[in-house]
């Protein structure tokens, strides 16, 4: 009787915890990019943010959505991918607008300086996705070029998935590639730290946030019985985060002589 009397409290509490965990999964991945977005808007400078972060996350989450058509998984994970795609597109839009505006201002200053010296200034050509120039890949002059690239990739990947959806091997490989791509997001930061033997310019608080978020995500995968690819790559992502924290500890104990190098963003996993 006592157990039955507690059901009225435990059942809603369990439901509330379940909703909270689902909400954390859907929106937790985009939280680290909110301060980065606000900082770029405030400073009107996007040099500290690598847009290749957006590329990796766009590819990973598009592949994850396509994987859902072959093997259904938890709805919060599907919504998480959709929210992340929208977030990365917003980041790309802001970064492109800021970069183009800064290039335009620099060009105006160059014209003004050239006019005073009667010199000729060469105008940089517009870079477009439709140029198919590998040297300028993902460095285009308009946000619409990024949208075209994302739509083209989605169309090609979607068509291949449609043709191969009945192949269990293809579906499982697709899911593995989706989560592996996302799991590798911290590897460039790990390599950069190793190459410079320093974690200067990297926010320890942000890495701690990545680690706690990835650990929560992996636990969610395991408890919810998500596909094996999700759990394995989640564990890999946690290991990469821990390795970065290990580097920070080791380099703090044995600092190297400072050498001039480009500072990577503190709020993103640098690529």
Can you give the pLDDT of all 271 residues of the chain as single tens digits? 455 555 666 667 666 766 776 777 778 778 877 877 888 888 888 776 778 878 888 999 999 999 999 988 778 888 989 999 999 999 999 999 998 888 877 777 665 665 555 555 454 567 787 777 788 888 888 999 999 999 999 999 999 999 999 999 999 899 888 888 888 777 767 777 777 777 665 667 667 877 887 888 888 778 877 777 778 888 888 888 888 888 888 888 776 655 444 444 444 454 4
What pLDDT was estimated at residue 7? 62
CA separation for the pair 183, 235 (Å, rounded):
9
What pLDDT was estimated at residue 110? 63
Which three-class secondary structure state does DSSP give residue 258?
A: coil
CA separation for the pair 89, 96 (Å, rounded):
10
| Three-class secondary structure assignment of 43-62 | HCCCCCCCCHHHHHHHHHHH
CA separation for the pair 146, 85 (Å, rounded):
12
Q: Which of 38, 32, 19, 58 is nearest to 214 (CA)?
A: 32
Judge contact between 237 and 60, C-beta under 8 A. no
Q: What is the pTM of this model?
A: 0.72
Q: Which of 155, 107, 146, 151 is nearest to 127 (CA)?
A: 146
What pLDDT was estimated at residue 270? 42
What pLDDT was estimated at residue 148? 93
Judge contact between 56 and 4, C-beta under 8 A. no
What pLDDT was estimated at residue 71? 85
Q: Which two tokens stand for residue 13?
A: 């509490």
Cα dihedral across residues 244, 248, 254, 258: positive or negative: positive
Which three-class secondary structure state does DSSP give residue 185?
A: helix
Q: Which residue has the tokens 């439901």?
A: 15
**Number of residues written out for the chain:** 271
What pLDDT was estimated at residue 179? 81
CA separation for the pair 199, 255 (Å, rounded):
10
What pLDDT was estimated at residue 114? 56
Q: Which of 92, 91, 105, 96 is nearest to 141 (CA)?
A: 96
What pLDDT was estimated at residue 121? 46
Residue 207, judged by CB atoms within 10 A of its CB (0-12, 13-18, 19+), counts as buried
- Eight-state DSSP code of residue 22: H
What pLDDT was estimated at residue 116? 58
Quickly list H helices, the chain: 2-28, 33-43, 52-70, 75-117, 143-164, 168-183, 187-196, 204-224, 228-253
């Amino acid at each position: 009787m006592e157990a039955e009397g507690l059901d009225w409290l435990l059942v809603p509490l369990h439901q509330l915890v379940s909703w909270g965990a689902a909400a954390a999964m859907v929106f937790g991945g985009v939280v680290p990019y909110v301060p980065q977005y606000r900082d770029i808007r405030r400073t009107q400078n996007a040099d500290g943010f690598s847009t290749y972060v957006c590329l990796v996350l766009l590819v990973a989450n598009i592949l994850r959505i396509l994987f859902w058509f072959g093997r259904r998984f938890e709805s919060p994970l599907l919504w998480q991918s959709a929210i992340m795609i929208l977030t990365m597109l917003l980041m790309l839009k802001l970064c492109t607008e800021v970069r183009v505006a800064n290039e335009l201002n620099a060009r105006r200053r160059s014209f003004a300086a050239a006019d005073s010296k009667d010199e000729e200034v060469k105008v940089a050509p517009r870079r477009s996705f439709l140029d198919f120039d590998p040297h300028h890949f993902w460095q285009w002059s308009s946000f619409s070029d990024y949208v075209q690239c994302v739509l083209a990739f989605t169309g090609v990947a979607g068509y291949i998935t449609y043709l191969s959806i009945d192949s269990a091997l293809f579906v499982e490989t697709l899911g593995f590639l989706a989560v592996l791509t996302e799991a590798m997001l911290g590897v460039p930061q790990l390599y950069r730290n190793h190459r410079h033997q320093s974690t200067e310019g990297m926010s320890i608080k942000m890495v701690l946030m990545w680690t706690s978020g990835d650990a929560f995500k992996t636990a969610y995968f395991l408890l919810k019985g998500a596909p094996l690819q999700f759990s394995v790559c989640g564990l890999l992502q946690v290991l990469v985060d821990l390795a970065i924290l290990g580097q920070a500890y080791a380099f703090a104990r044995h600092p190297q002589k400072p050498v001039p190098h480009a500072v990577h963003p503190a709020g993103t996993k640098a690529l």
